[in-house]
Amino acid sequence: MRNTDYEYSLNKRRITGITGIIIALLLILGVIVYSSRAGILPGAGRSPAPGISIFAQQQTSACNTPLHQPGNAMLSIYSAGLSRTFLVHLPPSYGTQFQAVVINYHGYDNTAQRTAQHTNMGAEADKAGFILVFPQAVDSPPSWNAGIGRFGPTGDADDVQFTRDLISYMEKNYCVNTQRIYVTGYSEGGGMAYRLACELSQQIAAFATVEGAFYNVPGGCKPSRPVPFLEIHGQADQLAPYGGNPGAGMASVQAILHFWLDIDQCKSANKVIFQKADVTGIEWPSCAPGTVVEHYRISDGGHTWPGSSPEPSLGFTTQTIDANVVIWNFFSRFTN
């Protein structure tokens, strides 16, 4: 009889304990449901857009810009009375933080799409995590208004205003670090990057040129502040010669370097920072605070983008360096 009473008491306590656990679980479940409906739990009650993480949504919302998918998009804006197009490449990391922007100007008689494909700069953007933009020139054939050559302006459009409007568009519609906007370009596009450094120095943190064709800037080059400068050039370039082309009104590499050394208040002392095979890298480190000038000289290089697929008709393409890596390593050191 005593054993029966003991078992009855034990079972009663077990039932009471289980009942208490069930009641507690029901209360917890009720709180979760209420919180979800009320929007108290982060992200509760919302379904992320396909392919976009909740974290990316929150970051994009924080910088108050629309959502965008990684990859390429061809876009257009109106600038100075013209419809202007450009290709935007977003890295896989886009949306997780404010990111730098690199604007890459194609060469004469070329396109944004071909330049994006040939340079393969998108691979470096994906690896390093920056936004990449390839603007498209107008005129026929496509040409940038990079300056004044022997026969007048190298283009008819207001490409400086186009760049102002492009930067403004990117800042309003993408998660952009406004202190880390950089410009680069190839051939005449390099000349365009040079002109922009002269005229938009307050917006540009640094600039780089590859086989740049340098012309006189209308009204003179008068940047409002020193701007870091990287110049990459082949000594065997026949289209934008290392020694310049006076007949076309094109300045030499040495003339442009010396001019920019004065702008950046650099001392004449320099040092070799890279030496391998056909490439020598030189730096002038003693310049205005936050500024340096660098030059990569390619002894046998033609009118080509280092590290890209060879184009024999334009001369030798060195594989000793990858221009994309050299340019980004340079840009990543500077903010505006």
How do the pLDDT tens digits run along the chain, 336 residues long? 444 444 444 454 555 555 555 555 555 454 443 333 333 333 333 333 333 333 333 333 467 788 999 999 999 999 999 999 999 999 999 988 899 999 999 999 999 999 999 999 999 999 999 999 999 999 999 999 999 998 889 999 999 999 999 999 999 999 999 999 999 999 999 999 999 999 999 999 999 999 999 999 999 999 999 999 999 999 999 999 999 999 999 999 999 999 999 999 999 999 999 999 999 999 999 999 999 999 999 999 999 999 999 999 999 999 999 999 999 999 999 999
Residue 314 to residue 226: CA distance in whole angstroms: 33
The answer to whether the CB of 256 falls within 8 A of the CB of 214 is: yes
- Beta-bridged to residue 103, according to DSSP, are 133, 183
φ/ψ of residue 30, rounded to 5: -65, -40
**Distance (Å, rounded) from C-alpha 104 to C-alpha 251?**
21
**3-state SS assignment for residue 327:** helix
Which domains can be identified in the chain, with CATH numbers?
69-331 (3.40.50.1820)
Tell me the H-state helices in the chain. Answer: 2-38, 54-62, 112-119, 121-128, 159-173, 188-199, 253-263, 323-331
d(CA 244, CA 262): 19
The model's pTM: 0.82
Distance CA 310, CA 290 (A): 36
